[in-house]
Amino acid sequence: MNHQDPTMLGINTARFNLMFFEECGEHLAEMERILVSLDNGEPNDEQLDAIFRAAHSIKGGAGMFGFQDMILVTHILESLLDKMRNNEITFSPSMIDLFLEAGDVISMQLSGHRDGSEVRQEAVDLICSKLQLVIEGGGAAVASESACLPAEVLHGNIVTDCSAPSADTTVHRYELTFAPDPDIFKRGVRLENLLADLEELGMLTVHAQVNVPSDFSTFDPEECITSWRLCLETSASVADIRDIFIFVADADQLQVLDVTDGTSATGQTAEYEETAPFGFQTEEDSLAPAPSADHPGIVTTGRRAYDKNETTPAAYGRRAGDAESSIRVGVTKVDQLINQVGELVITQLMLAQTAAELDPVLYEHLHRSLLQLERNTRDLQQSVMSMRLVPISIVFSRFPRLVRELAAKLGKQVELKTIGDTTELDKGLIEKITDPLTHLVRNCMDHGLETPEARIAAGKKSGGTITLRASQLGGRIVIDVIDDGAGLNRDKILRKAAERGIPASDSMSDEDVWHLIFSPGFSTADAVTDISGRGVGMDVVLRNVQSINGKVDISSEPGKGTRITISLPLTLAILDGLSVAVGKEKFIIPLNSIIESLQPTVENLKTVNGENVVNIRGDYLPIIPLYELFNMDSLVKEPEKGVLILVDADGEKAAVLVDALLDEHQVVIKSMETNYRKVDGTAGATILGDGRVALILDVNSLLQMRKQNIAYS
Amino acid sequence: MDRNDVNRISLTGDLSMVGAKEHYQSLEQYAASQAEAVAAGRRENAPLEIDLTGVQELDACGCQLLAVFLNNLRLRGARDCSFKLNDAHRMKIHNLGFDDEILNGGHP
């Protein structure tokens, strides 16, 4: 008996489940994107097909992994969509909300299987009822109220569903002609699987006809020149048969002829299916495989454009071509690779440092090789880092629906524009920027944009615009959230700040006033809504952005609108820093925190309330001696004998006292928590070229430590 | 592919999309030699035996290659052709609908 290792089985199942979860999420996102883009308009055939295909793929995957609850919902959804495709049910705008709701329920079920989160069965039952009512009512009305379906439909086997193939027990005899794309073999399509699926529907006979070339020496063995004639006796419908070919054949590559009541395959008494957008063809036409682009002068119909990026696992290898250009790799593996390359960079630095002590003439070849190694490792590092980069469209794609729903709720007309969707940033940053951006968009909708009446009264068009724009500027990613609303109200902000005891004055610059909205608990909203206005959020937005070394800027003009700009580093794995010496130790200070460095004169140094400060062009900045903060021995204890590095943390400035400046580095960040334990005042560590560990300073944290020390003193 | 004086062709390995090009080259060489023989008036009437027992993978692409090759030989006057193959391959050829094109000598 063959025993399987249950552990291995578990690992494999989990891996494939994960793949399904990811692909299912992509299908749901695509479905939602199309639905939202309809803007209450009727979907065209391609859009309807794409939505259907997404539902079909989810159902197929769910079936493969045994997620029966998902099969149930997607099957009813798919049935409704299929009837719409066949013009049996007419589209109505309210169906968009119904489909979005169905997508939400499927998403909830997906989360249930993936994360173990709660699945509200009543929501599942409700959407099934609604969808079923539309199917039964022929689309006359989209039900808004709950309706009860028989328990066996809601909770039982899928076969009990009225639209399942077994509902019609009449056995049909179909003749199929399948003339696939010439590249079907190259796409990795397994025709055996497809034919096996057909055979599951009933009795199947298969006959291949090869369009034999006159010259064997010019034959391309990888090009399909075969067409198939199939005869199928089944109770399944034409749609069921077409479903099997959905990812393999265009409409004009598959003919399905119902010859149940007739005897002639030439169609004398038989009826072609209604959906087939083609008429009778000559045998030569019907049997000739679709022409190839490789054959000039022949018009290539090819696959539909929207099928090009099909990614479903049920596509019978349709994406074989794509598989050559991309593979799905776990983030853990990529991170492991990044770490290993980081180690390589450190090793290269060590080699360079050792070689620097060798005679450049005697060891010329070695030096040249090491320079080449340095270039190669840097290139390798950049390539590996780019593997973690993902397009920001992943975040942007969630906003069309949010804006649509909020606009309906608030009675506002809003157009959402996105620019720079392909801008890439680190996957980790994408995850952390999603919530802040969502909050900003909600704020724009609720507070920034006016009602249509107010806009018209202000001489604007009734509909407002929110623009999300992403771009890369040097080593940073800049994301703008722009609205053409009323703009920030300076007087109102100052008044609210005063009411809440937030330090503010009329003499403050506009920029400083705008930044007051990031104060904890600040809100200028006159009424608290469920969308925003509680004053909880903008401070969280700022904190979240700062936690990933980002910055937030605001510009606003009354009556014209507001722009909030978030600037982020490209990645969190490497950092540009300045190495400094304190005693026998070295530290790295992030370059983006440094304003300038100087050697102070005794005249510039003062003591205020027992604390050393330095006068920088009239501003007195506190001095933070690193040796003191980290309890180290240092020969440089007087500021005038060392170097002061002026740093800025969220607008708060200070002067860090070090013994000497050393060099500028791009360093690989290593987690202290993972490798040792958390060390206050640091954001991690790195390994230098001489093999020593240098702590990377966290300027924000340093300022906090200083305040705590003063309080403790 | 092995060839000997009795016109026996043995195909081994992957007779699918993966190995189709490689097999095609061998079969094309054989077809070319036959064409030369015909052109030189040396028509070869010896029966051809194709041994597929060494084939590990067979798919529609491989079946199509066999069918085109056999059709080409028939066009040049080749007569009898027999196969050595196992049940799995016979079933595969049948399921893919290539019985007539391969096993039945091109006749339905």
Query: What number of H helices and E strands is found in chain B?
Result: 3, 4
**ipTM score over 0.95, yes or no:** no
Point out the residue among A185, A191, A225 whose CB comes nearest to the CB of B96. A191
* Segment A152-174, tens digit of pLDDT: 333 333 333 333 333 456 788 88
How far are the Cα atoms of A443, A578, A612, B107 from residue A639, in angstroms, in the given order?
Answer: 47, 19, 9, 100
B21's tokens: 């090009």
Q: What is the pLDDT of residue A670?
A: 80
Q: Which CATH number does the domain housing residue B57 bear?
A: 3.30.750.24
Same domain, A14 and A127: yes
Same domain, A410 and A546: yes
CB A500 within 8 A of CB A456: no
Q: Which CATH number does the domain housing residue A201 bear?
A: 3.30.70.1110
* Segment A50-107, tens digit of pLDDT: 888 888 888 877 877 778 888 888 888 888 888 888 888 888 888 888 898 899 999 9
Contacts of A250 (CB under 8 A, 6+ apart): A290, A301, A302, A303, A304
Q: For A519-536, b where at least 16 C-beta lie within 10 A, e where not — what string?
A: beebbbeeeeeeebbebe
Q: Which region among A112-121, A125-134, A279-288, A371-380 has the lowest average model confidence (pLDDT)?
A: A279-288
Average pLDDT over residues A329-354: 85
Q: State how many domains chain B has.
A: 1
Element (DSSP H or E) covering residue B60:
helix B60-75
pLDDT band at A588 (very low <50, low <70, confident <90, very high): very high
Chain B contacts of A229, Cβ < 8 Å? 97
Is the C-alpha dihedral spanning A304, A309, A314, A316 positive or negative?
positive
Specify if A221 maps to a domain: yes
- Put simply, the answer to whether B64 touches A226 (Cβ < 8 Å) is yes
What gap in Å lies between CA A681 and CA A678, rounded to an integer?
9
Specify if A447 maps to a domain: yes
Q: Which ranges of A39-67 would DSSP assign to H, the alpha helix?
A: 45-65
Same domain, A185 and A130: no
pLDDT band at A643 (very low <50, low <70, confident <90, very high): very high
Point out the residue among A185, A206, A216 whose CB comes nearest to the CB of B17. A185
Residue A268, pLDDT above cutoff 50: no
Same domain, A457 and A441: yes
Specify if A309 maps to a domain: no
Q: Which CATH number does the domain housing residue A155 bear?
A: 1.20.120.160
How far are the Cα atoms of A8, A453, A463, A467, A489 from residue A456, in angstroms, in the given order?
Answer: 65, 5, 9, 20, 19
Q: What is the pLDDT of residue A565?
A: 93
Q: State how many domains chain A has.
A: 5
Contacts of A347 (CB under 8 A, 6+ apart): none
Q: Among A551, A569, A587, which residue terminates a domain?
A: A569
Specify if A476 maps to a domain: yes
Element (DSSP H or E) covering residue A231:
strand A226-234
Q: Which CATH number does the domain housing residue A530 bear?
A: 3.30.565.10
* Residue A225 near chain B (CB below 8 Å): yes
Specify if B108 maps to a domain: no
Ranked by mean pLDDT, which of A60-69, A138-147, A299-308, B90-99 comes out on top?
B90-99
* Segment A392-433, tens digit of pLDDT: 888 898 888 889 888 988 889 999 999 998 888 888 888 888
CB A228 within 8 A of CB A177: yes
Specify if B72 maps to a domain: yes
Q: What is the pLDDT of residue A475?
A: 64
What gap in Å lies between CA A510 and CA A428, rounded to an integer?
33
A403's tokens: 């804006």
Specify if A228 maps to a domain: yes
Specify if B25 maps to a domain: yes
Q: Which CATH number does the domain housing residue A596 bear?
A: 2.40.50.180
Specify if A224 maps to a domain: yes
What gap in Å lies between CA A325 and CA A26, rounded to an integer?
18
Q: Which ranges of A579-685 would DSSP assign to H, the alpha helix?
A: 626-629, 672-675
Same domain, A182 and A269: yes
pLDDT band at A613 (very low <50, low <70, confident <90, very high): very high
Specify if A321 maps to a domain: no
Contacts of A104 (CB under 8 A, 6+ apart): none
- Measured CB to CB, residues of chain B less than 8 Å from chain A are 17, 20-21, 23-24, 27-28, 31-32, 59-61, 63-65, 67-69, 71-72, 75, 92, 95-98, 100-101, 108
Top pLDDT among A154 and A382 is at A382
* Segment B20-52, tens digit of pLDDT: 999 999 999 888 887 787 777 766 566 788 899
User: What type of residue sits at position A499?
Assistant: E
Same domain, A383 and A264: no
* Segment A510-545, tens digit of pLDDT: 888 888 888 876 765 555 454 454 444 688 788 888
Q: What percent of chain A has a predicted confidence (pLDDT) above 90? A: 18
Q: Among A164, A186, A220, which residue terminates a domain?
A: A164
Specify if A617 maps to a domain: yes
Q: Which region among A62-71, A113-122, A289-298, A438-447 has the lowest average model confidence (pLDDT)?
A: A289-298
Residue A606 structural domain: 574-712
User: What type of residue sits at position A298?
Assistant: I
Ranked by mean pLDDT, which of A57-71, A342-356, A481-495, A510-524 comes out on top?
A481-495
Same domain, A696 and A584: yes
Residue B38 structural domain: 2-103
How far are the Cα atoms of A65, A135, A483, A545 from residue A131, in angstroms, in the given order?
Answer: 24, 6, 37, 42
Q: How many CB atoms lie within 10 A of CB A33?
A: 16
Same domain, A218 and A114: no
User: What is the residue-wise DSSP string for A555-597?
Assistant: EEETTTEEEEEEEEES-SSEEEEEEEEETTEEEEEEGGGEEEE
Q: Among A297, A319, A341, which residue terminates a domain?
A: A297
Specify if B63 maps to a domain: yes
